[in-house]
Structure 1
Amino acid sequence: MRITILAMGSRGDVQPAAVLGVELLHRGHEVVPATTDDLEPFGETLALPVVSFGFDLRAFLRSPEGQTLLKSRNVREYLAGFVQVKLKHAQVMRAAMLTACAEADVIVSDRLLLDEASSVAEANGARFVGLHHAPREPNSHFTSFMLTQRRAPRPLNRATHLLFDRLEWKATAASVNQFRAAIGLAATTVPVARRLARAQTLELQAYSPVLVPELSTWSPRFPLTGFITPSPQQRQRWGRPTWRNRCRNGWPRAIRRSTSGSAACPSPIPPPCSPWCSRCAANSASAA
Structure 2
Amino acid sequence: MPASPRRPCLVIRPDDSSSDEDPPSPTRLKKKVVFADDHGRPLTQVRIMTEPSNVPPLWSHKFLAEVTQGMSAEPVAHGEPWEITFQQPASSYIEFRKKLDQEKVTLENVIVKENEEILLGTIKVSNLAFHKEVFVRSTTNGWKTSEDIFCKFVPNASTNTVSAAYVLYDTFSFKLTLPPKSRRIEFCVCYKCEGKEYWDNNGGLNYVIVKKVQNKFHRSNSDEFLSVKSSEVEKMHRTSSFDVIQTINKVDPWSEFACWNHVDTSNPYW
TM-score, normalised relative to structure 2: 0.21
In terms of fraction of residues, the more helix-rich structure is 1
Structure (1 or 2) with the larger CA radius of gyration: 2
TM-score, normalised relative to structure 1: 0.20
Q: Which has the higher contact order (CA 8 A, sep 6+)?
A: 1
In terms of fraction of residues, the more strand-rich structure is 2
